[in-house]
């Protein structure tokens, strides 16, 4: 059985302005189709405004689609809303979604009641999850005193309160520091081992590569492709960047002539940036720089937007 | 579910003084009403002077918290998550409002103390059982009416304006501020559709020594109106939630 199945899904919004009740139609999702196997961790990768959150909202039944169908564990999100709500745990990223004046334990017990867990089971489950996400020591502290990472772990505990087979994680590591994000990803690994179906939205390619079984790329409400994470890894290395200091014009020209170098540019601080556009070119460029005595070198991965630009703007993507 | 909602709201209200701010007006209103009644030589209306502020405080707290729950949940991003949970949102709202209405019963203590300490009047309750039952039924009805109003608050972001617009007609039609007999004749039948009119009459009657008549009818009316409010609230809220799910305005703050 498929954990999540989306076919021809569309969602449009009318924009309102001060003077007009109904403005132009904005298409947040267009003919989106997606199949997530039960037990799969599926990444939904796209820049801001791609339609990731809109899809999560439809799957969590808080937003109705304007066309197409969406099913969770075989249940239609429009006609079988009650069944879907029992199956889905939702973790929205960011600061919102918790009662900050209450304690972590009070939050979880309340959400347990909203998921119709009986009192003793609600208490047991809340305690279990607090331990699992490492918040037992702060269980009776008000959420407003928590760090971003702690709030996000509590979000996850909230999403797991009813032990749902399907989890929607919408940008769960947004704003987290790297250590907290790594810990969070470790928990996602554990959830995968437990056999849960996870739909994880992110704009972080490294995160998608690290935790997902497959990744669907989405932009402006349209699915571009579904790829295995190793493809992301290839793109990350393929479209990497090298920043170096102490590179004179002659050396820069030499490096620019290397096969697979996309572009070179001088930064405002006097350093240079070399953009890589093909596999293996980074190693050759680094060898040139080191051989010329340049030791201040930094490599970095491209942003999602840069990869999109390369793939869609440059060569087109195999959809 | 109701108990969990009550417990949650009691914890929340402990840290949200705004939920119970109406309690601050009770001593002042009681003092004003008592001063007017006593200086007019209308000792027979002392019951009005103490019951009025109590019912006003409890009902305004119910309406305020209904609006506040929707507004603060929307702002905190929890409204969407509550809608996405399997629990019936009407039950959740009703339980949360009921908790605040229960806190509103502290207004009784305030009104009684003002009468005693400020005016030297010890207000006795000869029919304590009737008083308690009618007060409890009124609390359920207040929570019901607030639940009905909450559906309006989901639909709009101008909840505060609606709260004010709803509360004063309720007080007037409910005979809380002035006795219903003082209202224009054409308006008086309408007041019987407001649970507060039945509550106020019976609560005041239970303060007088003579036997209270019409308790069963009054109680039935209050409970029927409470039940009708919850039912209408459920239907209306279901419609409103479907509408905001459709137009995508549920999370808009």
Over the stretch B86-134, which tens digit does the pLDDT of each residue have? 998 888 988 999 999 999 999 999 999 999 999 999 999 999 999 999 9
Contact A119 B4 (CB under 8 A): yes
How does DSSP classify residue A49?
T
Burial of A270 (0-12, 13-18, 19+ CB in 10 A): exposed
Nearest to A98 by CA among A164, A172, A154, A171: A154
Q: Are B194 and B173 in contact (CB under 8 A)?
A: yes
Residue contacts between A and B (CB atoms, under 8 Å): 87
Give A23's contacts in chain B (Cβ within 8 Å). Answer: none
pTM of the complete model: 0.81
Distance CA A225, CA A109 (A): 40
Distance from CA of A4 to the nearest CA of B (A): 17
Distance from CA of B9 to the nearest CA of A (A): 10
Distance from CA of B184 to the nearest CA of A (A): 41
pLDDT at B3: 86
Distance CA B55, CA B33 (A): 14
pLDDT at B159: 64
pLDDT at A312: 61
Mean predicted confidence (pLDDT) in A224-240: 76
Per-residue confidence band for A319, with pLDDT thresholds at 50, 70 and 90: very low
pLDDT at A175: 74
Nearest to B174 by CA among B204, B199, B139, B148: B199
Contact A116 B86 (CB under 8 A): yes
Q: CB neighbours of A274 closer than 8 A, spacing ≥ 6?
A: A241, A242, A243, A244, A255, A256, A261, A263, A264, A285
Query: pLDDT tens for residues B160-181?
Result: 667 777 778 888 888 887 778 8
Among B2, B94, B154, B248, pick the best mutation site for testing chain A contact (most A Cβ within 10 A).
B248
Distance from CA of A59 to the nearest CA of B (A): 10
Q: CB neighbours of B14 closer than 8 A, spacing ≥ 6?
A: none
Contact A102 B5 (CB under 8 A): no
Of A94, A99, A116, the CB nearest to B87: A116
Give B82's contacts in chain A (Cβ within 8 Å). Answer: 114
pLDDT at A318: 41
Query: pLDDT tens for residues B137-164?
Result: 999 999 888 888 887 777 776 666 677 7
Backbone angles phi, psi at B203, to 5 degrees: -65, -40
Alpha helices in chain B (DSSP H): 2-14, 26-39, 46-76, 79-83, 89-104, 106-113, 119, 128-155, 159-173, 188-191, 195-205, 215-247
pLDDT at B224: 95
How far is residue A315 CA from its own chain's centroid? Answer: 25
């Amino acid at each position: 059985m498929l954990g999540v199945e989306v076919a021809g899904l569309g969602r449009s919004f009318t924009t309102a302005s001060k003077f007009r009740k109904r403005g132009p139609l904005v298409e947040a999702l267009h003919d989106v189709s997606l199949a997530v196997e039960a037990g799969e961790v599926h990444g939904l990768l796209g820049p801001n405004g791609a339609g990731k959150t809109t899809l999560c909202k439809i799957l969590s039944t808080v937003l109705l689609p304007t066309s197409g169908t969406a099913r969770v564990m075989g249940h239609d999100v429009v006609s079988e809303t009650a069944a879907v709500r029992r199956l889905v745990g939702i973790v929205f990223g960011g600061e919102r979604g918790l009662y900050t004046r209450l304690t972590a334990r009070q939050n979880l017990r309340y959400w347990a009641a909203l998921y119709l867990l009986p009192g003793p089971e609600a208490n047991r489950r809340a305690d279990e999850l607090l331990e699992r996400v490492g918040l037992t020591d702060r269980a009776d502290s008000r959420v407003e005193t928590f760090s971003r990472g702690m709030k996000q772990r509590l979000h996850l505990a909230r999403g797991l309160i009813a032990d749902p087979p399907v989890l929607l994680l919408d940008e769960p590591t947004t704003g987290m520091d790297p250590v907290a994000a790594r810990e969070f990803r470790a928990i996602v690994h554990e959830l995968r081992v437990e056999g849960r179906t996870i739909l994880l939205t992110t704009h972080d390619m490294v995160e998608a590569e690290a935790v997902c079984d497959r990744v669907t790329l989405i932009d402006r409400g349209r699915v571009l492709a579904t790829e295995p994470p190793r493809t992301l890894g290839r793109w990350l290395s393929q479209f990497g960047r090298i920043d170096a200091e102490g590179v004179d014009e002659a050396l820069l020209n030499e490096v620019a002539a290397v096969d697979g170098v996309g572009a070179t540019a001088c930064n405002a601080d006097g350093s240079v940036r070399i953009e890589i556009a093909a596999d293996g070119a980074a190693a050759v460029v680094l060898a040139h720089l080191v051989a010329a005595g340049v030791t201040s070198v930094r490599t970095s991965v491209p942003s999602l937007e840069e990869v999109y630009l390369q793939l869609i703007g440059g060569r087109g993507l195999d959809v | 579910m109701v108990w969990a909602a009550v417990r949650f709201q009691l914890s929340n209200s402990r840290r949200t003084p705004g939920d119970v701010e109406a309690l601050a007006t009770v001593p002042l209103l009681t003092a004003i009403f008592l001063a007017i009644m006593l200086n007019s030589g209308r000792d027979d209306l002392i019951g009005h002077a103490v019951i009025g502020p109590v019912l006003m405080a409890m009902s305004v707290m119910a309406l305020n918290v209904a609006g506040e729950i929707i507004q603060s949940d929307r702002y905190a991003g929890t409204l969407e998550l509550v809608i996405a949970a399997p629990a019936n949102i009407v039950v959740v709202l009703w339980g949360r409002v009921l908790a605040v209405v229960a806190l509103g019963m502290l207004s009784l203590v305030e009104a009684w103390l003002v009468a005693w300490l400020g005016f030297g009047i010890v207000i006795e309750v000869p029919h304590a059982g009737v008083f308690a039952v009618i007060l409890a039924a009124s609390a359920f009805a207040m929570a019901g009416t607030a639940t009905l109003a909450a559906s309006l608050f989901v639909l709009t972001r101008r909840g505060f304006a609606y709260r004010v617009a709803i509360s004063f007609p309720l007080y007037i039609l409910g005979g809380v501020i002035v006795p219903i007999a003082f209202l224009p004749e054409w308006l008086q039948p309408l007041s019987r559709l407001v649970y507060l009119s039945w509550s106020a009459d019976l609560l005041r009657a239970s303060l007088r020594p003579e036997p209270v008549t019409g308790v069963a009818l009054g109680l039935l009316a209050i409970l029927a109106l409470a039940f009708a409010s919850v039912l209408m609230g459920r239907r209306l809220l279901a419609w409103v939630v479907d509408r905001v799910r459709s137009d995508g305005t549920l999370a808009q703050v």
